[in-house]
Amino acid sequence: MTRRAAVQVVPPWVLAHADRAGQLRRVLPGVYVDAALVPAAPTAGDSTFPLLDAAHRVRAALAWAQGRAALGGLTALDVWGVRGQPEGEPVHLDVVADCGLRPRPHLVIHHREGFSLAPPRVVTRRGLPVVRLERALVDAWPLPPPPQRPAAVIRAVNDRLTTPARIGSALTTVSRLTGRAQLRTLLALLTAGCRNPLEIWGHDHVFTGPGMPTFRRQARIVVGRRTMYLDVYAERERVDFELDGATTHGDPRQREIDLRRDALLATVGILVVRFARHRLVHEPDAVRHEVSAILATRRDAADT
């Protein structure tokens, strides 16, 4: 609760007494929580705010902002469910430029020119004001280490929360962004049909370049009453190249599912060839050679 709200119902001395008695703890200027929510007493000079769990840090930060902020950046991605925010990572707030709010320990303030707390820029999700997903993905892009950046964008698209085109549109509204070229490349790959990091690796290192046809990615195929999506499909040669991630390797149940799927595709003349992640990553040249040879054999067979 805020001090402003508390003194509307109790005298200020009651609040001060509860604070001195350890019943409440001040976590931000003018913001108090039940002491039971703070698992340990801070040492001298330390802030109480980071001792709260993630959900209460978010609520405390919004209470401190007094209606002048929405959750943005990495915190917004957590609310949207595309990237969990680990303990110790600061809360990110988007605010109107020159609103008077300043950063604090474990609390990052992003002053946005032309920012509005009303729709469509800000929406309510899980009862919290949060910037739209596309803008959050763009703003948060430079913040994690480079290898971790694509995951949230890929998940947002795979979960059908947004599209590469909508993210690209949000990107055009940001004049300066570290890693802009890499984000544009990722959006192009997602537009082409890649849906996970292994498919992106395969696209970049195996299935493009001289001698390779134009493949369809995540091609939708209906056989009987079953709909399937093929990872990398050579339509002329009717070959489906499946890229098997590490999580499926050695799983007997998944292996059985794959065998049944491959057999069903064979009934309509589609050959399925599977490449494990280890081979794709560590033997890309050998895989390229095999892909070319398989496609050439299928074309020769079709011509005879």
* CATH architecture entry for 197-303: 3-Layer(aba) Sandwich (3.40)
For 77-100, what is each residue's pLDDT tens digit?
Answer: 999 999 999 888 999 999 998 888
The most confident of the ranges 165-179, 234-248, 249-263 is 165-179
- 107-141 per-residue burial string, b: 16 or more CB within 10 A, e: under 16: bbbbebeebeeeeeebeebeebbbbbbbbbbbbbb
Tell me the two tokens of residue 81.
Answer: 């469910």
Distance from C-alpha of 47 to C-alpha of 38, rounded to nearest angstrom: 11
What pLDDT was estimated at residue 87? 83
pLDDT higher than 70, residue 248: no
Name residue 51's amino acid: L
Write out the two tokens for 202.
């395969």
Q: What would the 3-class secondary structure string for 42-77 be? A: CCCCCCCHHHCCHHHHHHHHHHHHCCCEEECHHHHH
Name the residue among 203, 192, 200, 206 with its Cα closest to residue 292: 206
Minimum mean pLDDT range among 164-173, 183-192, 210-219, 287-296: 210-219
Residue 72 confidence (pLDDT) above 80: yes
CB 135 within 8 A of CB 120: no
Q: What distance in Å separates the CA atoms of residue 134 and residue 131, rounded to the nearest whole number?
A: 8
pLDDT at 49: 86
pLDDT, mean of residues 63-69: 94
Name the residue type at position 76.
Answer: A
- DSSP reduced 3-state for 196: coil
Quick one: tokens of 214? 């134009």
Q: Give the model's confidence band at 209: pLDDT under 50 very low, under 70 low, under 90 confident, else very high.
A: confident
Length of the chain: 304
Q: Look up the pTM and report it.
A: 0.79
Dump pLDDT digits (tens) for 273-286: 999 888 998 999 99
Share of the chain above pLDDT 90, in %: 67
Spatial distance between the Cα atoms of 245 and 230, rounded to a whole number of angstroms: 14
pLDDT number for residue 46:
54
> Can you give the residue ranges of every domain in the chain?
1-52, 67-192, 197-303
Whole-angstrom distance, CA of residue 121 vs CA of residue 84: 22
Show the CA angle centred on residue 84, arms to residues 31 and 61, nearest 5°.
10
Burial of 268 (0-12, 13-18, 19+ CB in 10 A): exposed
Say if CB 71 and CB 92 are below 8 A apart: yes
